[in-house]
Structure formats: C-alpha cells, structure tokens
Amino acid sequence: MAERSWICRKCGFKKDLLSGYHYRCPKCHSPIDLWYDFEWRPSGWGIYRYRSMLPYTPLTSLGEGLTPLVVRELRGVKVWFKLEYLNPSGSFKDRGSVMALSLARSLNYGSVIEDSSGNTGISVALYAQAFGLKAEIIVPAAAPLGKKNLIKLFKAAIVEVEDRGRACEEALKRSKASNAFYVAHAWSPTYIEANKTIAYEAFEQGFRGDAIVVPIGSGGLLLGLYKGFSELVELNLIKDLPTIIGVQGVSARPVYEAIHGAVDIKGYSSIADGIMVPNPPRLSEIVNAITKAGGEVVLVDNNEIAQALRELINLGFIVEPTSAAALAALNKVINEGAGIREALIPLTGSGLKMIDDIVKLLSF
Amino acid sequence: MAERSWICRKCGFKKDLLSGYHYRCPKCHSPIDLWYDFEWRPSGWGIYRYRSMLPYTPLTSLGEGLTPLVVRELRGVKVWFKLEYLNPSGSFKDRGSVMALSLARSLNYGSVIEDSSGNTGISVALYAQAFGLKAEIIVPAAAPLGKKNLIKLFKAAIVEVEDRGRACEEALKRSKASNAFYVAHAWSPTYIEANKTIAYEAFEQGFRGDAIVVPIGSGGLLLGLYKGFSELVELNLIKDLPTIIGVQGVSARPVYEAIHGAVDIKGYSSIADGIMVPNPPRLSEIVNAITKAGGEVVLVDNNEIAQALRELINLGFIVEPTSAAALAALNKVINEGAGIREALIPLTGSGLKMIDDIVKLLSF
C-alpha cells in the first residue's frame, strides 16, 4: 500500500492517514490536507471510477457521481452544465460525504456530527444512516422545515441553535465530549478530494473549455475543481488550467474583499443560502486558486439570482437558487464583454427540496 | 436512412415513422408499435448512448438516463437498485418524454397535451418547456398541490377534471380540437422504446441476475424492460431472459386478474399512486411478457409498501411509495421461498417531490 498522509502545509505536521482523523491540523489549527500518489486509471462507475486518483477508495456507493453534463449555447457562449443536483441526496455534497463517512467507518467511529442548515446536513444524515453510523446535525433554528424534515427522515438527531456561528461551536464541543467524528465539511480535505472528481468527469464527458464558474460557500467546490483541473494539466490530459470565476453574494463577500479590499456595496443575496458563508476557513487557499487560474470573483444579488433561476428552470433544470448564482455571474461577465468561449457550471443543488419557495420566488 | 415505421400487429397498418404521429393504431384503435432495424453499438452518454438501438435519436439531452446502479445484499438476495429517481425531473418518465417530445418537434407540432396527475405530467411539462413546445396537462382535481406546483413552474397550463378517466377523455378531445400532440404515455410506443435503455444500462453496469421486479402502472416500464432484455438475448449479449415479477396494488389489479381470474382480496394500496391504473391499454401485452418470462404478478398493500419504503430510506434511497412497491413484492417472494439469487429493481420516482407526505407516512 502506497503512503497516504495527513499533512499541514503551514507547520509541517505529517502523519499516516489511518493513524487518526483530523478535520484541521492538530498542532497549529490550520486547514489540513491529504498527501498521496495518484495515477490516471479510470474504471467503473460513480466516483469509485477515480479511486486511483483519490487518497482512499470509498467503502461503498450510494449512486454518487457520474452526473450528466448538458451543453447549451447561451448568448454566444457554450455552457456545459454539470447536473450535480442529480446526486443521491440532491446535491454535490454527496461526493464528499461518501469519502468522509467512509473514513469515519474505517477509523471505527460509531457516530458523526455536522453543523449545516442545508444540503450538507441532509447528505451527512443520509450517508450516516446508510453506513450504520449515528448522526447529530446542528442546525440554526431558522433553517427551513423541509430540510429539517429530510434530516429527521434519516433518523439523525437535530440540535437547534441560534445561528450558523453557534452551530459550528456546538458541533465542535459535542464531538469532543462524545468522541464523535466531526465531519466539518468547510475544513476537511475529504470534501475537496471528492470534488476533484467533478473535474475528471467533465473532462471525460468532453469539456475542454476555457472557464469554470463556481459558487463559493466554504470553497470546497472551487478548491476541488481547481485541484482536479490542475492534476489534469499535470498529467498532460489537458493543456491549460481553465480560468476560475468564483461567485459570491453581495451580502457575504469575504473572498471578493480579500482580493479587492473592503468595499461598500449595497444589496442582498439572501436567497442563495449556500453561498452565505462569511468566514470560509480556507480563505487564503481560495484566493490563491483564483489568482493562479487567472480568475476573478463576481458578486451577484437576489434579483440577478432569481432571473438566472428562471432561465435555468426554462432550460429544464430543477435547481435551487444557489445553483443559479453561477449563471447569474456568467451572464454578468458575458454582458461586460469577457472573451469566454466555453464555460463549465456545476449546478449544485436540487430545487425539489424547496419547490414551494421557488414557486413563490419566481412569481414576479 | 434505414426504414422506420409505425406498425399495428393487430390489423397490419404500416406507415413510415415521419408520415405522422399515432399514439394508437388509426385504423383499429389497438396499441401501435414502432418497427426498425437495430445494432448494438453503444457510445456516448445518457440514452443517446443507445441511439443505434432506438427508432430515432433524441433531439437533445436534458441529462436523462445512465442512472446509477447500486447493489445491496438483502435477506440472501443480491438486489441491484437502478436509481431512476435521479433522472432530471425525478422519475424514469424522462426517458420516454425526451423520445416523445423529440418526435413532436420533428413532426413540427407546436403544442403537446398529456393526462397525468403525477410524474408523467411533470416530466412532459419540463421537456415541453425546454423544447419550446406549449403544454397542457389534464389532472384530476385531487392531484397533490406539490406536483401541480411543479407543472406550473414549467409554465404548462393545468386543466383540472373530476378523475383519471375524465382526464384521458378530456386530453383526447382537446388534442383533436387543437391539433396538439397527444403524448398518451400509457398508449404510445415511444415510452416503451425509451424504457428499453434501462435494461441496456443495467447490463453494461454489470447486472446478470435472474429476476427483475417491476411496478405495473400502465405497464410501459415492464414492457420496456421486457423488450430491452429480449433484445440482449437476441444479440447474444446475455443467455437468458430474467424472470419478470410484475407488481400491482391490491386495490388496482387488472394484470393479476387477467392471469388468475377475478378474486376477492381485501386491503388498500392507495399510497402507491403510480400503480393505481385500473385499465392499462396494453393489458394483453403485459400478460404475454410476464408469461414468456416465466414470471408472475405479486400484489402488495399499503402496510407492506410503507415498510419497504422505510427500508429503502434506511438504505439511503429518497424514493416515493410507488418505488417501494417493488421491494415490498420482492420481500414477499423471498419470504415465500422463491429461489431468486439476483434481482433488478428500478426505483421509479423521487421522494423529494412529496417529502412531507413521506414523513407523515413513516411516522408509524
């Protein structure tokens, strides 16, 4: 078996993968990464197909990955939509959850904890149930009832707290007290490693475009795509890294401000809850990825997101507003005359989980 | 271009595919079929992959087909779950809709009509919108609000009538009056042709089992799987046709009674609305397929369906009760000691469209 390690690029901490679990560096508390050899040898179905490119093979499949790639010509740009909302629990988070919870099982944990009001909570609850692990999901009290119902359906315990910040603290506290596996999707490298496979699939499905447009929440999707496409360049499978256009909402724009400095921009982006993350733990990595890929951050507001959502529904994609943020940003960039020819947009989450809200939102 | 025809096996009617549309034989009103040459030459993604096995190539893809196949060992039987609920509109009907509406477009229709209270209505509305066709969906007034909302989201006109029987009459009347394309999924061979691709995919994904367990509504799924596996035998890709276990609800059992004669069975199967079809137009074909495949019909009730639904959710599959009817039937057959080693179960529709109902249903 080849060497596979936890590695901290900040303080140099390094330990074997199976020596224990670290959602962040146990020495300096920076984000932690996984180090391993890889080889391009795709075979089989789902994300299991790319096991030779991953730090370890997921224990089993619940049908995650190998989502459809649908091409449409929009305003002169060839747009490749990756239908990530057709994953088992209705979002791309299932890729990360199968990796994270496989590790929890391999390390003999009996229970997992996660803080999330939305797609990650549902995804973790589903995989925990299917993998025979107990789950506790810490949610802000204001989280939508439909999403809470889905979490309950998988018999996960729901703990309600005031807000997102408190949810994270509570998850950390409880995981320490009960020795549960703290999934910590915003920190853990397992979600980034899993999201690489979206890049591999898009490549195998024919995408050779010059740009990818990605909503940024905690940034795991952007970092995964960046890592995946960088490896495809390293393996000489593609020539150049696509430009990365990161998308944030006007009312939660930490990456934008890390690049451009503090700005005074009015407006709201509350309907795209998946990108309303004020403090992504891997902020400097995200900035670095966008810079290296010659990219930028585009801000969008509720009105632009709702219009893009209408456009996506008209195209036949039943997605949630967060997914529409990416198309809203691409529309903006096209209008400003950027010379993009072909762009990849991951459609992150299913609209079926909140169809009544979407109907209300689009009745303008 | 090879010959492709409408053909009536009852009265001998035969005409070129593109001479016009017939949802049933225009001479004798029997179900009509499509006749064409085929060749096993899979390439590409989605159902487009099997265009050499289909009467015509779908105009475009919205991501339908190539759904995951997940294997689980249940009570000594290897069960291959085909995750058809991960199609674009959340059900296997999308395979048929992309074929049917491609034909409507090729024949220059401007609008389509369909009668359905559920998945087919949503699927037709989605594809009509994406293909630039107007759609009118005739629904029983009692259809669930959530499903009506989804149909409206795609800007289809909803016409409410008393019940399912009236919906069919109304659709027929309106399509004649307005020269709209009457999709008629219960009659049209396009849905059967499309459903063949589920068999092809299962084969390519490794299924070589001895049984398939299929819910019977109007029977298009069963007939499609029967045709697909029969062709795989004809092409020498598999040796034997799997046994076909058709599944009906105790309170709507036309196929069961066509085989066994009228019976007096108590109980209800109302929660699996997709199999509550009292008069499937292709009844004798369904009986013939089950007989030739050495199969049988198994009846299930609400209690058995709800238990199987709980089992499926525990496995990580977010499906609707109709999908659970098949597992309920397999459980019954296993308990009775049938010697099945490996069974394919298509999980037909997403539970995300009716999650509140499912939560209520499973709180027993």
Q: Do B154 and A69 touch (CB under 8 A)?
A: no
Residues A10-28, mean pLDDT to the nearest whole number: 97
The whole-angstrom distance between B274's CA and the closest CA on chain A is 19
**Above 90 in pLDDT, residue B351?**
yes
Please tell me the distance from the alpha carbon of residue B94 to that of residue A301, in angstroms, as a whole number. Answer: 33
pLDDT at position A1: 56
Residues B226-242, mean pLDDT to the nearest whole number: 98
For chain B, the domains span 4-53, 69-90+190-361, 93-182
Nearest residue in chain B measured CA to CA from A151: B359
pLDDT at position B1: 56
Q: Do A86 and B86 touch (CB under 8 A)?
A: yes
Q: Do A149 and B356 touch (CB under 8 A)?
A: yes
Fold of A93-182: Rossmann fold (3.40.50)
Residues B188-207, mean pLDDT to the nearest whole number: 98
* Nearest CB to A154 within list B62, B313, B352: B313
Choose from B43, B86, B129, B345 for mutation: most chain A CBs within 10 A: B86
Which residues in A lie closer than 8 A to residue B68 (C-beta atoms)? 45-46, 61, 63-64, 66, 88
The whole-angstrom distance between B358's CA and the closest CA on chain A is 9
3-state secondary structure of A172: helix
pLDDT at position A145: 82
Please tell me the distance from the alpha carbon of residue A250 to that of residue A41, in angstroms, as a whole number. Answer: 41
Nearest residue in chain B measured CA to CA from A309: B153
pLDDT at position B364: 54
The whole-angstrom distance between A219's CA and the closest CA on chain B is 26
Q: What is the pLDDT of residues A243-268, one digit of tens each?
A: 999 999 999 999 999 999 999 999 99
Task: Please state which CATH class domain B69-90+190-361 belongs to.
Answer: alpha beta
The whole-angstrom distance between B363's CA and the closest CA on chain A is 9
Of B281-290, B293-302, B354-363, the least confident: B354-363
Please tell me the distance from the alpha carbon of residue A212 to that of residue A81, in angstroms, as a whole number. Answer: 10
**Above 90 in pLDDT, residue A225?**
yes
Chain-centroid distance of CA A305 in Å reads: 18
Which residues in A lie closer than 8 A to residue B64 (C-beta atoms)? 68
The one-letter amino acid code at A300 reads V
Q: What is the pLDDT of residues A78-95, one digit of tens each?
A: 999 999 999 999 999 999
Give every CB contact of residue B4 below 8 A, 6+ residues apart in sequence. B16, B17, B18, B34, B35, B36, B55, B56
Q: In what order do the strands lie in the sheet with B342-346?
A: B69-74, B77-82, B342-346, B211-215, B243-249, B296-300
CA-based angle A117:A25:A225, to the nearest 5? Answer: 60
Nearest residue in chain A measured CA to CA from B313: A154
Q: What is the pLDDT of residues B305-338, one digit of tens each?
A: 999 999 999 999 999 999 999 999 999 999 998 8
Q: Are strands B77-82 and B69-74 parallel, antiparallel or unpaired?
A: antiparallel
Please tell me the distance from the alpha carbon of residue B24 to that of residue B172, in angstroms, as a whole number. Answer: 12
pLDDT at position A364: 54
Q: Where are the beta strands (DSSP E) in B141-204?
A: 157-161, 181-182
According to the CATH classification, is domain A69-92+189-361 in 3.90.1150.10?
no
Which residues in A lie closer than 8 A to residue B205 (C-beta atoms)? 45
Number of other residues whose CB lies within 10 A of the CB of residue A42: 15
The mean pLDDT value of chain B amounts to 95
Spatial contact of B110 and A108, defined as CB atoms under 8 Å apart: no
The mean pLDDT value of chain A amounts to 95
* B93-182 has the same fold as B69-90+190-361: yes
**Above 80 in pLDDT, residue B162?**
yes
How much of chain A, in percent, has pLDDT values that exceed 70? 99
Please tell me the distance from the alpha carbon of residue B129 to that of residue B121, in angstroms, as a whole number. Answer: 12
3-state secondary structure of B323: helix
Q: What is the pLDDT of residues B118-143, one digit of tens each?
A: 899 999 999 999 999 999 999 988 88
Please report where in the chains the tokens 């890709």 appear, as a residue. B237
Q: Do B359 and A149 touch (CB under 8 A)?
A: yes
What's the ipTM?
0.95
**Residue A33 half-sphere exposure, CB side, CA atoms within 13 Å?**
13
The whole-angstrom distance between A168's CA and the closest CA on chain B is 25
Q: What is the pLDDT of residues B280-289, one digit of tens each?
A: 999 999 999 9
pLDDT at position A20: 96
3-state helix, strand, coil in chain B (%, to 5): 45, 20, 40
Residues A259-282, mean pLDDT to the nearest whole number: 92
Of A123-127, A304-308, B165-169, the least confident: B165-169
Number of other residues whose CB lies within 10 A of the CB of residue B50: 26
**Above 80 in pLDDT, residue B117?**
no
Q: What is the pLDDT of residues A155-201, one digit of tens each?
A: 999 999 998 888 889 999 999 999 999 999 999 999 999 999 999 99
**Calculated CA dihedral for residues B203, B206, B212, B213, nearest 10 degrees:** -120
**Above 60 in pLDDT, residue B72?**
yes
Which residues in A lie closer than 8 A to residue B88 (C-beta atoms)? 68, 83, 86, 316-318
